[in-house]
Structure 1
Amino acid sequence: MKNIVLTGFMGTGKTEVGRILAQKLGYTLVDADTEIEKEQKTTITEIFKQYGEPKFREIESGVIKRLSEMEKAVISTGGGAVLKQENMDNLRKRGVIFCLTASPETILERTSINNDRPLLQVENPLQKIKELLEFRRPYYEKADIMIDT
């Protein structure tokens, strides 16, 4: 069977849905962000602070390439992983790509619980969410299946 790949904006439920699916299917759950932090021995927030988003995306692509080689896995990606076609191509080789969606307001509500979202450390996080969603929409729509959470 193919891997299940969960993409979508932060706060759309990728980690939670991934846990449930992995348990039900007997698949291994792997979270790309967690794997990045393990590999780099630091947090994503620190990677963004020290090296910026371009370096983070480079690291992320390497991790996604490795994860995409797994079998019987539920792979939860970071919200911006879809921005690189290379990532989508690697994930699609052995997986079906699902994009989880939610309204900007729901995303803000879900992400305001913690402060470890570097892209939302701005004066108006709701506006930032709307801008990022609008920019990323065409990338998210490349998924095989879209699901509103």
Structure 2
Amino acid sequence: MKRNIVLVGMMGSGKSHIGRKLAQRLGWQFVDTDRRIERVVGMTIAEFFSQAGETGFRERERTILHQVSRYHEAVISFGGNFPMNIETYRILHRHGFIVALLSEPFRVEERVSRHIGKRPTVDYDNLREFVRHMMRQWEDVYPYCDGVVDTTRGGAGQIVEMILQKVDEKKVQFMSRSKGV
């Protein structure tokens, strides 16, 4: 039995937008880990990354991971640069159904370039190569996910339905808050 749906994927794959729509469709809460970090530290991700460095930033991400992984009836969107490793997946799988969102390179470039400076690890000068490099890294992650959904084409409503179809295909049941631990 699961508690949450967890959206992972590289930046620009649509996790925040789709996550909000999915949470709305289910009547669940939506949690964006990047926004959560910004609220806790009182600055943007880019400012915090610059001030705390990668080590401090990653530590904050791990803290948030442990907090939100225990939620009930939440759609949780993890930042596109969140380090996905076997330990991360063990924590997320314990209570979450993990869906990776992916998109064609041209669409990721288009989405990421809308927010120049917002993402501290992006090489905006070499965006095309940066996106392709990130995509190669994410290819190793997809097999660990419960489902993979392409967000290149189609509206948010269609993508939400594709995610729910993955949930149905796997016959996933979710524990409600009222039956919480």
TM-score by length of 2: 0.77
Answer whether contact 2:16 2:77 (CA < 8 A) is retained: yes
Residue in structure 2 matched with residue 137 of structure 1 by the alignment:
139
CA displacement, residues 84-109 of structure 1 (integer Å, 9 cap, x when unaligned): 33322221111100000011211010
CA distance in 1, matches of 2:84, 2:45: 17
Larger radius of gyration: 2
Answer whether contact 2:5 2:96 (CA < 8 A) is retained: yes
5+ residue gaps, structure 2, are: 152-181
CA distance in 1, matches of 2:83, 2:51: 23
Q: Does 1:124 align with 2:134?
A: no
Answer whether contact 1:33 1:44 (CA < 8 A) is retained: yes
Q: CA deviation at 1:9?
A: 0.6
Residue in structure 1 matched with residue 57 of structure 2 by the alignment:
56
Which stretches of structure 1, 4 residues or longer, exceed 6 Å deviation after superposition?
none
Answer whether contact 1:6 1:97 (CA < 8 A) is retained: yes
Between the aligned residues of both structures, percent identity stands at 37
Give the secondary structure class of the aligned counterpart of 1:6.
strand
RMSD: 1.5
5+ residue gaps, structure 1, are: none
Give the secondary structure class of the aligned counterpart of 1:52.
helix
TM-score by length of 1: 0.92
Give the secondary structure class of the aligned counterpart of 2:72.
coil
Answer whether contact 1:33 1:77 (CA < 8 A) is retained: yes
Q: CA deviation at 1:142?
A: 1.4
